Amino acid sequence: MGMTAAEKIIAAHAGKETVKPGELVKAKVDLILGNDITAPVAIREFKKIGLNKVFDPERIVLVPDHFTPNKDIASAEQAKIMKEFAREQGITHYYEVGRMGIEHALLPELGLTLPGEIIIGADSHTCTYGALGALATGIGSTDMAAAMALGETWFKVPSTIKFVYQGELNPWVSGKDLILYTIGQIGVDGALYQSMEFTGPVIRALSMDSRLAMCNMAIEAGAKAGIIEPDEITYAYLEGRAQREYRGLFSDGDAIYAQEIEFNVSEIEPQVAFPHLPENTRGISEVGEVPLDQVVIGSCTNGRLEDLRIAAELLKGKKVHPHIRLIVIPGTQKIYQQAMKEGLLDIFIEAEAAVSTPTCGPCLGGHMGVLAKGERALATTNRNFVGRMGHPESEVYLCNPAVAAASAVTGKISAPEEVL
């Protein structure tokens, strides 16, 4: 009987011929990720094990990105625990401020996340790496500690839902809109425990940056993972980047899916998720009048080069509305530098936007753009839960970079066409 790509990856890492959904297995992991919030807890647990050395200092990635550059003394203390552990263990993939990026933008860029691999991270958006054909999922800090010791973890094999995207994409519709639309259709628990496999002609033509944005939000539908089988676009992206050898795995023709869902993307316009859940989506033409206080372009969902290029295209020669704070945060140092070379940063600054060093910052209401009571933000991030970007009585709307840029100019949620 056939298996899905996700099942094959788990079987290969569990040393088994086949696995079935629901089965509990122990599997080797290729990479373990932690950040300045989760790693310190994992390090404390790791020390309880009483082991001197991690299983492999080259397979652990530590990225201070949430509250860095350190926003206060407490966050500085957390970052310090991680930095010292990295030094003491000789962790090769530790990325200090100045070399870092938001973890889920940084790891693919560095060629650390590869097809056919199992990657676990003490961060729920670890599922981003499914865009490269990896089985990647978020875990807890205790899981991270144990995996750092053993190089393996346990999994419940997820069943897979296949999403097939057909048709022609409308102008300004990106991977972000496809995933927002999908979550709008199936709900925030629509793929609980499951793996979401994205496929079809539209996906095969989609850029890597857009694929990363899609898989990034699989968790927002409750999924354990999102996955896109590798193809020419994947291999081109990995060229000169991949840090290890890899082997892509593909779903069999007779693989068993829990469900198959097909969408005609010709019917999808840019999407906006209303507070306070990513499933509260509407097409841009149905948004109505929503004035804003702040617009954020960045995060592990949409802080990549493609996103900044789209935003710059719309902001060129224009000014941010006088009532709006526009904050642009390139996802990594490299993206930042490339944006500078291409003149994108000039466009943002001319438009009177604030441009920041890479950080999660406002995405989780940490720093660099926290909302006051009653304020309303439009963001290219992935979560719009109550209080996510600041005060519990503030609001977050989610969208793609084009809608965000256009709205920064008009001062209210607007379609990109309105500013062209």
Partner 1 sequence: MTILNGKAWKFGDDVDTDVIIPARHLSTSDPDELAKHCMEDADPQFFNKISKGDIMVARKNFGCGSSREHAPLAIKYAGISCVIADSFARIFYRNSINIGLPILESPEAAESISEGDLITVDLEKGLIKNETKGEKYYSAPFPEFMQEIISAGGLINYVKDRLSEKP
Strands of 200-275, DSSP E = 225-227, 259-264, 271-273
Minimum distance between the CB of residue 360 and ligand SF4, rounded to whole angstroms? 3
Instruction: Indicate which of partner 1, ligand SF4, none lies near residue 50 (CB less than 5 to 8 Å, by partner kind).
Output: partner 1
3-state DSSP call for residue 327? Answer: strand
Which one of 56, 70, 142, 282 is in contact with partner 1 (CB under 8 A)? 142
**What does the DSSP 8-state code read for residue 262?**
E
Cis before 392? omega within 30: no
Does the footprint of partner 1 cover residue 222 (CB under 8 A)? Answer: yes
Token pair, residue 139, equals 């875990």
Q: Is 157 in the site for partner 1 (CB under 8 A)?
A: no
Q: Does 25 bind partner 1 (CB under 8 A)?
A: yes
Please report how close the Cβ of residue 129 comes to ligand SF4 at its closest, in angstroms: 13
* Tokens (6 digits) for 264: 């005609």
Binding flag, residue 168, partner 1 (CB under 8 A) = no
DSSP lists the bridge partners of residue 325 as 294
Contact status: 123 vs ligand SF4 (CB under 6 A): yes
Among residues 15, 74, 84, 154, the one that binds partner 1 under rule CB under 8 A: 154
From candidates 33, 86, 134, 300, binder to ligand SF4 by CB under 6 A: 300
Segment lying near partner 1 (by CB under 8 A), choices 143-151, 205-213, 325-333, 405-413: 143-151
Radius of gyration from C-alpha coordinates of the chain: 20
Is the Cβ of residue 106 or residue 292 nearer to ligand SF4 in the bound state? 106
d(CA 91, CA 62): 8
Is 66 one of the binding residues for ligand SF4 (CB under 6 A)?
yes
In angstroms, the Cα distances linking 288 to 236, 393, 409 are 41, 21, 16
> What CA–CA distance (Å, rounded) separates 339 from 329?
11
Exactly one of 126, 141, 281, 407 binds partner 1 (CB under 8 A); that residue is 141
Strand duo 271-273 + 281-283: pairing: antiparallel
Q: What angle do CA 208, 351, 309 make, to 5 degrees?
A: 15
Of the listed pieces 152-160, 237-245, 356-364, 402-410, which binds ligand SF4 according to CB under 6 A? 356-364
Candidates 155-163, 168-176, 192-200, 360-368: pick the segment binding ligand SF4 (CB under 6 A). 360-368
CA–CA distance, 411 with 131 (Å, rounded to integer): 33
- Rounded to a whole number of angstroms, the minimum distance from the CB of residue 367 to ligand SF4 is 11
Q: Strands 376-379 and 294-297, how do they pair?
A: parallel
Q: Report how far residue 34's alpha carbon sits from residue 307's, in angstroms, rounded to the nearest whole number.
A: 25
Residues binding partner 1 (CB under 8 A):
22, 24-26, 45, 48-51, 124, 138-143, 145-146, 149-150, 154, 156, 189, 192-193, 222, 224
Residues binding ligand SF4 (CB under 6 A):
66, 102-104, 123, 125, 299-300, 360, 363-364, 381-382
